[in-house]
Amino acid sequence: MALQIFETDPDARPAPKVKSEYTRPAFTFRSGMQRNRKPVKLDNWRIVAEELEPLKALAELLGGTAEEYSASAREPFHVLTETDSVEIVIDGAGAVEERMILWGPNGPIHECDGVEFLSPADAKGKPCGCPKELDQRKAWAQQGRGPKPNIPIRFRLAGLGYELGFGLLRISAWTFLPDLDPLKAALAAIDGEALCTLELEHISFINDKGEKIEYSKPKITVQGAYADAIAEER
């Protein structure tokens, strides 16, 4: 005889588990690193991973040496590549997520879309209390009082196929926000996977104090349908 406890209390029945289409990324692209706890700007892409093997294939394609850089890091292996531009494949606008996150020692303590909370479940949809003005949002984030952009983008490298798994680019730069909507629109306009160029755009200028400011930001250019690009190569 089968148990019928959920027949008497259907609200307590566990929801069916939905298998995610994606697992953990095989590798993550980063535009910088830390040395002696200080951020270091890089001229080329840096790739980190939990396992060494994926990085060996990436090093063959993009240059550099796959090695362990920090035994205590969650992704302890990296390769400092020899390129600031790579061709990637993005599967639609759904591969680009948008959120604002303030991280605490054990995970996100504030997650919103800039206006309403995205989590936790009991707060989802409620006003998040973030400032309306962009400059004030940046100031709060800098002071550790408010969230900053957290934009994960899933992709795979063109020319490597699916066997390596997918990569992740997690963008936190405020300067990327004006590019976000045009990128998603360009991806949505393509039926299927899009062939894109992912590059580090190097910015340099003199500020009002006469100081030279240099930084790099990710730039993604949608070239067109990946299927069309493959057909042209045949």
Domain spans, the chain: 27-95+151-233, 100-149
Please report the pLDDT score of residue 22 as a whole number. 45
- Residues 61 and 157: beta-carbon distance below 8 Å: yes
Please report the pLDDT score of residue 208 as a whole number. 87
Q: For residue 168, which of 184, 183, 182, 157 has the smallest C-alpha distance?
A: 157
Please report the pLDDT score of residue 15 as a whole number. 43
Task: Take residue 34 and report the two structure tokens written for it.
Answer: 């830390």
Please report the pLDDT score of residue 11 as a whole number. 54
CA 49 to chain centre: 14
Please report the pLDDT score of residue 169 as a whole number. 95
Where the chain has pLDDT below 70, the residues are 1-23, 232-234
User: 85 in helix, strand or coil?
Assistant: strand
Please report the pLDDT score of residue 21 as a whole number. 41
Longest dimension (CA), the chain: 81
* Number of helical H runs and strand E runs in the chain: 5, 13
Q: Is the pTM of this model over 0.85?
A: no
Model confidence pLDDT, tens digit, residues 117-162: 999 889 999 999 999 999 999 999 999 999 999 999 999 999 877 7
Q: Which residues contact 145 (CB under 8 A, 6 or more apart)?
A: 102
